[in-house]
Amino acid sequence: MKYRIRLADSLVLAAVLFAGIPAAQADEVVANDQVLPADTTVYLTIHDVNEFKSRWGDSLYGQMQSDPALADFWEQIQGQLKEVSLELEENAGVSLDELSQLPQGEISLAVFRSPGQRIAVVALMNYGDNETTVDTLLDKLDDGMEEGGAERSVEEFDDTEITVFELKPDAEPDPRPGAIKNIAYFRSDSVLAFSTEVYGLETVLARWDGQHSDTLASGPVYQYIAAKCRPEGEQPVLSWYIDPIKLVTDAVSATQANNPGAQMMMAVLPSTGVTRLKGIGGSLDLATEEFDSVSRTLVYVEQPPAGVLNIFQFPAIASTPPDWVSSDTNAYFGINWDLEAAYNAVETLVDGFQGPGATAKYLDSLADEPNGPKLHVKNDFLDFLDGRIHVITDFDAEDEQGANELLVALGLQDSQGIQATLTTIENTEGFPGSVREFRGVSIYELQGPQTVAIAVTNDNLVIASKAEMLEAVIRNDGSVESLADSDEYRQFESFVPGETSGFSFQKQDAQIQTAYEMMKSLPQSDETGDLDFSTLPPFEQIKKYLRPTVSYFVPDERGAFSMSFSLAE
């Protein structure tokens, strides 16, 4: 039988790694990105959990949590937390409140590869003056691991003791690639560090003074992303970073080392251009002077992009929503896509593997299908589009489940050409729909499990899940206030560049209300933890905390930058 950590021990370990939000930060320590290696592939950190807690309390979500209208519901939650605390204290020797006070500074999670091709997962937590709590937890962990059959040993690295538990099954070694074989930890300078590999902790200790030349913080890609996502040089409450290509290649090397197919796939990656994607990272901030919440993200691409990355070219243009987008819209998203560059990228990739002209021959063969409409995907469809795409989502008020209604509008550079394509499809034998006129515009309604309405109007090919949405676009007579003219939208304009590659506007209250009402009607059961959701207040009492959110992304000299935010009061 293979070694298994008991539930109680798992709770202890989870508590140590991911305990809640802290009290106060002790002495300043070296930032965690300065003790991690430059080849770190995943990094997530809360820079100061005390600051995070304070900012959360000041944010609208924190204010909603403290609203007296929710007192009855939170009282039930507190009752259940007391039960959890008693069980935790029995198993781990500390209460839930003591755990919530444990982290007192930065807490981070990171991933990188060891020389032996194994993946090391490292967790770092500053615990300040809570040494007694840490002593209790580690004693429980040590006892539980040894009782479970793990072999304990102590190693020393740079004058620091590393406790190692080797997870041994009773018989044969665990055959699963990448299976965790060790759990190791050390304590130093009020920091508790855990890893799945001893090498992970040794790597951190070798950089403990923050002076090492090979660190995550010294990496140019990481530095650029962090600077772009750090507003005016201020520290956000949370930061993250991923090197997606290296993460995949490391994972394949660790788990598929003897798989020729996997290794061949890795060898082909550079020819696709995807290896120019060097990193993705971002930040989160709460309760700032201007924003209630704001997240920033940067995708770092080595320039110029090549291969498959050329599919994702989004030039910046004027980002104001079209006048036919109503102010009643729950969510709007617009994007400008360089379809010609995308098509050329796909054609180059396919032809590179299949031979020159392979893409064109395939599309020609589709157009020549004897039972088809004799239309060419590129010549009779793609060439008529200009790359602008608008998406609207609304809720069907008549649907008790709160189903979404969707409208997609594809911008056109040749409306007559696309209309001719639709006419050809209509006249094809077996056309599964009907055609009707509305204000001089032909509406094509396709029958199926979900009726779809299609029309060419306002220089767009419009596809809607509900005909009434399409008719509103065709009508566009100024009788309904547009989103772009609404006060709700205009308050965001000064925070959004005049030209963007993509832009979205979402009303949080409209998106959450249906789910909230459904939750209120849930009966008490084991699945709901016997919580009485009917004690939740009417939605109107919490609606004020759910403000619209705006997002946009723009080209950056080294990739693309995006920002999503809701405004402060």
Residue 14: per-residue pLDDT: 42
d(CA 437, CA 40): 60
Q: What is the mean pLDDT of the chain?
A: 88
Here the tokens at position 229 are: 């996502």
Helices (H), ranges, 311-441: 339-354, 358-367, 415-426
- pLDDT band for position 27 (cuts 50, 70, 90): very low
Residue 319: per-residue pLDDT: 84
More confident residue, 267 or 201: 201
Helices (H), ranges, 198-313: 198-205, 220-228, 244-255, 260-272
Residue 398: per-residue pLDDT: 56
What burial class does residue 303 get, using C-beta atoms within 10 Å of its C-beta: 0-12 exposed, 13-18 middle, 19+ buried? Answer: exposed
Segment 258-287 shows an average pLDDT of 86
Q: Residue 130 half-sphere exposure, CB side, CA atoms within 13 Å?
A: 27
Residue 169: per-residue pLDDT: 57
Residue 93: per-residue pLDDT: 85
Segment 326-343 shows an average pLDDT of 95
- pLDDT band for position 9 (cuts 50, 70, 90): very low
Please determine, for residue 110, whether its predicted confidence score (pLDDT) is greater than 80: yes
Choose the weakest-confidence range: 103-117, 261-275, 423-437, 535-549. Answer: 261-275
Segment 290-298 shows an average pLDDT of 96
Please determine, for residue 174, whether its predicted confidence score (pLDDT) is greater than 60: no
Please determine, for residue 223, whether its predicted confidence score (pLDDT) is greater than 70: yes
Residue 91: per-residue pLDDT: 83
Choose the weakest-confidence range: 52-56, 105-109, 405-409, 526-530. Answer: 526-530
Q: Quote the distance between the C-alpha of residue 64 and its chain's center.
A: 24
What burial class does residue 176 get, using C-beta atoms within 10 Å of its C-beta: 0-12 exposed, 13-18 middle, 19+ buried? Answer: exposed
Residue 439: per-residue pLDDT: 94
More confident residue, 233 or 153: 153
Please determine, for residue 468, whether its predicted confidence score (pLDDT) is greater than 50: yes
pLDDT digits (tens, 9 = 90+) for 389-402: 999 998 655 555 55
Choose the weakest-confidence range: 65-74, 146-155, 396-405. Answer: 396-405
Residue 523 makes CB contacts below 8 A (sequence gap 6+) with none
Residue 397: per-residue pLDDT: 53
Choose the weakest-confidence range: 36-45, 253-262, 542-551. Answer: 253-262
Q: Residue 90 half-sphere exposure, CB side, CA atoms within 13 Å?
A: 7
Here the tokens at position 86 are: 């008693």
More confident residue, 486 or 146: 486
Residue 383: per-residue pLDDT: 96
- pLDDT band for position 300 (cuts 50, 70, 90): very high
Residue 114: per-residue pLDDT: 81
What are the CA-CA distances from residue 480 to residues 415, 459, 547, 553 (Å)?
Answer: 25, 20, 22, 28
Query: Angle 333-337-340 (CA atoms, 0-180°, nearest 5)?
Result: 160
What are the CA-CA distances from residue 564 to residues 174, 343, 366, 533, 555 (Å)?
Answer: 44, 29, 41, 31, 15
Q: Which residues pair with 561 in a beta bridge?
A: 298, 554
Residue 28: per-residue pLDDT: 52
Query: Angle 555-558-561 (CA atoms, 0-180°, nearest 5)?
Result: 40
Please determine, for residue 24, whether its predicted confidence score (pLDDT) is greater than 70: no
d(CA 68, CA 537): 10
d(CA 95, CA 345): 58
More confident residue, 290 or 117: 290
Residue 118: per-residue pLDDT: 84
Residue 557: per-residue pLDDT: 96
Residue 271: per-residue pLDDT: 83
Sign of CA dihedral 101, 105, 107, 113: negative
